[in-house]
């Protein structure tokens, strides 16, 4: 152990470390931080007395549980406008696909997002990120995909980065230019894929605006061949990929993502057993999105049992977006993951911590309370870790720590 003194200690609460297979619980734990890193974690009784005595700042938590900072690994929270009218249409019987084919859906948000200035987009999107932060989310993925032209995609991703800077959150961005065919390319999907590969991705990579490349592989979006072209370009640019796969139909999307060593395949309601096996081999995380399943009143659940059997890591995310998942609460998603998909609370909690970190390629820094990890964590005054899944919304964390510093959650 280094001789350097610790900066700060948090003690007097249980720790949900997410180490090992389960939650890695430690009752009466202690976390020590230096700079922005965890330098000691364990049971308080085992902590070195001399180090504790020399630490200038000790926070006593008085019960409750400390979790790794929660991670929402799939969101579309930067967008303009809203789609309340489509909500009403769906209540009257229209389906998501019918609305999309009639020019609504994603394309209506594209129109509003293109029309918004960077400042307007920032002002509209910040509250959604703040909702998540208030629940203890410290790492957040944000996708583009409502711009669908070079300048609008850049605008979205700049806003995503600006949200991170404003709130002190870690933001991972994904370019989702292959989300829908923009109206000016109607009937010319190949040309739009050319635009993505020859201009949008290279420019975003050059400007460091995209940490990963995503796509929507679906009958109402892009074919596996079209997505494969986008992924080839991502590979050439050294960017990892992930995919909206098998949400409404089985197009072998999970296997496609796995064949490019995808960080994750997401949705997966229609994924077949071969796709699950391919994901297991590639270490591709299954990102489950019960908010979209709920909103679209889907009845077919992702193959959870097969994921378990094949040892595929499962993550849970909000999919926060104006159409299929108008939800900015990861707490609600924890409950939905258990109630709608049959995850255990342990699986659900690992799904917004250690496995969500893996889905973002951040396993070495995020998602666990362990030495060497970023000092991101949140403290909830709850009786048991499963309370976060059981109770829908309600109590907020009383402390959120990011990079070793406590932040005021407004
Ligand atoms: O993840 N599946 C495609 N994309 C989003 C929906 C976006 C929208 O409807 O605006 C999703 O569910
Ligand atoms: Fe999505």
**Pocket, ligand 1, Cβ cutoff 6 A:** 76, 105-106, 109, 216, 244, 247, 292, 319, 321-325
* Structure confidence at residue 1 (pLDDT): 60
Please check whether residue 291 is in contact with residue 266, taking contact to mean a CB–CB distance below 8 angstroms. no
Q: Which of 292, 296, 317 to mutate to test the pocket of ligand 1 (most atoms within 8 A of CB)?
A: 292
Spans of the chain, pLDDT less than 50: none
Pocket test for ligand 1, best of 86, 321, 327 (most atoms within 8 A of CB): 321
Atom of ligand 1 at shortest distance to CA of 83?
10
**CB neighbours of 80 closer than 8 A, spacing ≥ 6?**
109, 112, 113, 114, 115, 116, 120, 121, 124, 146
Residue nearest to atom 1 of ligand 1 (CA): 319
Whole-structure pTM value? 0.97
Domain architecture of the chain: domains with CATH:
8-68+368-407 (2.30.40.10), 70-359 (3.20.20.140)
Give the pLDDT score at 407: 83
Residue tagged 């992702």 (tokens): 302
Contact by Cβ (8 Å): 159, 122:
yes
Can you say whether the dihedral through the CA atoms of 370, 282, 334, 409 is positive or negative? Answer: positive
- Provide the Cα torsion 252, 367, 301, 268; round to 10°: -10
Residue 132 CA, ligand 1 centroid: distance in Å: 19
Residue 146 CA, ligand 1 centroid: distance in Å: 10
Neighbour count for residue 294 (Cβ, 10 Å):
17
Six token digits for residue 53:
């005595």
What DSSP letter does each residue of 336-392 carry, written as one string?
HHHHTT---HHHHHHHTTHHHHHHTT-TTTSSS--TTSB--EEEE--SSTTHHHHS-
Nearest CA to ligand 1 atom 3: 216
Closest atom, ligand 1, to C-alpha of 96: 9
Residues, CB-to-ion distance under 5 Å, ligand 2: 319
pLDDT digits (tens, 9 = 90+) for 115-158: 999 999 999 999 999 999 999 999 999 999 999 999 999 999 99
The H or E element that residue 318 is part of is none
Give the three-class secondary structure for 260: coil
- Span 318-330, pLDDT tens digits: 999 999 999 999 9
Name the residue with the closest Cα to ligand 1, atom 6: 324
Q: How many angstroms separate the alpha carbon of residue 59 from the centre of ligand 2?
A: 39
Going from the C-alpha of 201 to that of each of 143, 157, 185, 194, 235, the distances in angstroms are 13, 12, 18, 10, 11
Going by CA atoms, what residue is nearest to atom 12 of ligand 1? 324
Q: Ligand nearest 90 Cα, by number?
A: 1
């Amino acid at each position: 152990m280094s001789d350097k003194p610790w900066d700060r200690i948090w003690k007097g609460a249980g720790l949900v470390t997410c180490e090992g297979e389960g939650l890695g619980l430690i009752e009466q734990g202690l976390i020590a931080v230096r700079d922005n890193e965890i330098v000691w974690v364990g049971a308080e009784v085992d902590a070195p007395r001399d180090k504790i005595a020399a630490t200038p700042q000790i926070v006593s938590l008085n019960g409750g549980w400390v979790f790794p900072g929660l991670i929402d690994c799939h969101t579309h929270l930067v967008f303009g406008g809203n789609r309340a009218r489509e909500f009403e249409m769906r209540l009257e019987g229209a389906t998501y696909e019918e609305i999309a084919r009639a020019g609504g859906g994603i394309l209506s948000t594209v129109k509003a997002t293109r029309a918004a200035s960077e400042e307007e987009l920032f002002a509209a999107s910040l509250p959604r990120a703040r909702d998540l932060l208030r629940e203890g989310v410290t790492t957040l993925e944000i996708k583009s995909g409502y711009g669908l032209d070079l300048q609008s995609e850049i605008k979205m991703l700049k806003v995503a980065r600006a949200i991170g800077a404003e709130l002190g959150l870690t933001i991972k961005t994904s370019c989702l230019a292959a989300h829908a065919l923009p109206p000016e390319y109607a009937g010319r999907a190949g040309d739009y894929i050319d635009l993505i590969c020859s201009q949008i991705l290279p420019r975003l990579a050059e400007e460091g605006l995209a940490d990963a490349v995503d796509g929507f592989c679906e009958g109402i979006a892009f074919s596996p061949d079209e997505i494969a072209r986008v992924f080839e370009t991502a590979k050439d640019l050294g960017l990892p990929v992930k995919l909206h796969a098998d949400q409404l139909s089985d197009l072998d999307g999970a296997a496609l993502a796995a064949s490019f060593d995808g960080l994750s395949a997401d949705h997966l309601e229609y994924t077949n057993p071969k796709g699950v096996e391919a994901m297991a081999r590639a270490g591709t995380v299954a990102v489950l999105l019960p908010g979209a399943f709920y909103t679209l009143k889907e009845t077919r659940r992702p193959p959870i049992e097969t994921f378990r059997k094949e040892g595929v890591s499962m993550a849970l995310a909000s999919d926060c977006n104006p159409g299929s998942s108008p939800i900015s609460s990861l707490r609600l998603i924890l409950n939905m993951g258990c109630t709608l998909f049959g995850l255990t609370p342990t699986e659900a909690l690992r799904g917004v911590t250690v496995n969500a970190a893996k889905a973002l390629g951040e396993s070495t820094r995020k998602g666990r309370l362990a030495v060497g990890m970023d000092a991101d964590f949140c403290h909830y005054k709850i009786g048991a870790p499963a309370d976060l899944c059981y109770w829908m919304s309600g109590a907020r964390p009383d402390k959120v720590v990011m990079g070793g510093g406590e932040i005021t959650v407004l």
